[in-house]
Amino acid sequence: MSPVRFLVVPLLLSLEPLFSFGGRGFPFCLRHTIYIENMLIGIDVGISTTKIVGIKDGEVLSPIRITAVDPVTSLYGAFGKYLYDNGFSISDVEQVMLTGVGSAYIKQPVYGLPTTKCDEFVADGLGARFESGIDKAIVVSMGTGTSFVKCDGDDMTHIGGIGTGGGTLQGLSRLLLNTSDIRYVSEIARQGNLANINLLIGDISANPLPGLPMDATASLFGKAQPNASQEDIALGLVCMVLQSIGSAAILSGIGTGISDYILIGNLTLLPQCRDIFPAMAKLYNVRFHIPKNSEFCTAIGAALSFEEIRNNR
């Protein structure tokens, strides 16, 4: 992914509601709503984790996630479990759409069904738009790393990314907390105190700086001490990853006229998102949204991309 250059600049965007969870308007703003006789299957294939959703009559059906030792095993395991758990049969499926880095390992039709691949960035945009109901936004896909996709109606453009994401949190947790279990890290972080880890504006200035309140972060981990508690370190790590992603996302939107940012991917499940992103939204006068099924948006977008294929036949 392309690196994003970090600049310190004031962001002056319109003041509107700053944060939302689970918002959903009409899929594709009605003109994009699809109605099919059979089901579309969207599969986001990672290296070891696969996410799968079904879409029928414009509704997302029973998304699931499966982890296995390799992408092929993960994909077939997810598909089999999905059909079995929901009582579906192969004949119920019209099309399988694959996306994600692991989809490159899939060289043949899945279970003999018509199978096509969708560009991952296009899938990010389509899925985020479908679930949020927002046509113009920057989609922030928080996976192992983070990518930014500008969504402007039907135009989906990959505009960059950073190498900070779930992989960063997992790796640093392994080094500093002796665990790679992100759920555990986020849980103990609930008892942490950021004031013991981050250097705040109030720590270095007697008065607020222009555009920066006293509780704004001056330096991530700038106040950490050797005797810091595990809880404080955990919260510091989560905050560092999420704040870095949020800052990079906002910077990626400069000059676009966009002030809506749709967060998708597994990191949206971290409870700390509900504190960190609203604070950043208020500071920079933007809006962050975490839609329903946020961790499955890429798989949803892959399924929806078949509409274009059908229309071009």
Cα–Cα dist 225/200, whole Å: 15
One-letter amino acid at 89 equals S
- pLDDT value for 212: 84
Do 148 and 115 lie in one domain? The reply is no
- pLDDT value for 257: 94
- pLDDT value for 182: 95
With respect to residue 182, please indicate whether it lies within any of the assigned structural domains. Answer: yes
Do 91 and 158 lie in one domain? The reply is no
Other Cβ atoms closer than 10 A to 73:
14
Do 169 and 259 lie in one domain? The reply is yes
Do 77 and 146 lie in one domain? The reply is no
With respect to residue 216, please indicate whether it lies within any of the assigned structural domains. Answer: yes
With respect to residue 251, please indicate whether it lies within any of the assigned structural domains. Answer: yes
- pLDDT value for 4: 34
Beta strand pairing status for 19-21 and 287-290?
parallel
Do 113 and 177 lie in one domain? The reply is no
Tokens standing for 97? 């759409």
Do 176 and 255 lie in one domain? The reply is yes
Domain that holds residue 90: 34-122+298-311
Cα–Cα dist 239/237, whole Å: 5
With respect to residue 9, please indicate whether it lies within any of the assigned structural domains. Answer: no
CATH of residue 181's domain is 3.30.420.40
With respect to residue 12, please indicate whether it lies within any of the assigned structural domains. Answer: no
- Counted domains in the chain: 2
- pLDDT value for 313: 65
With respect to residue 282, please indicate whether it lies within any of the assigned structural domains. Answer: yes
- pLDDT value for 31: 32
- pLDDT value for 10: 31
Do 48 and 145 lie in one domain? The reply is no
Do 175 and 232 lie in one domain? The reply is yes
Tokens standing for 116? 């096509």
214 SS3 class: coil
Burial track 173-191 (b if 16+ CB lie within 10 A, e otherwise): beebbeeeebeebbebbee
With respect to residue 111, please indicate whether it lies within any of the assigned structural domains. Answer: yes
Tens-digit pLDDT string for the chain (313 aa): 433 333 333 332 333 444 555 544 333 333 344 444 589 999 999 877 899 999 998 899 999 998 878 888 889 988 999 999 999 999 999 999 999 999 999 989 999 999 999 999 999 999 999 999 999 999 999 999 999 999 999 999 999 999 999 999 999 999 999 999 999 999 999 999 999 999 998 889 888 788 888 888 999 999 999 999 999 999 999 999 999 999 999 999 999 999 999 999 999 999 999 999 999 999 999 999 999 999 999 999 999 999 877 776 6
Do 195 and 230 lie in one domain? The reply is yes
Do 110 and 158 lie in one domain? The reply is no
Beta carbons of 240 and 234 less than 8 angstroms apart: no
Do 183 and 203 lie in one domain? The reply is yes
- pLDDT value for 309: 75
Do 282 and 249 lie in one domain? The reply is yes
With respect to residue 127, please indicate whether it lies within any of the assigned structural domains. Answer: no
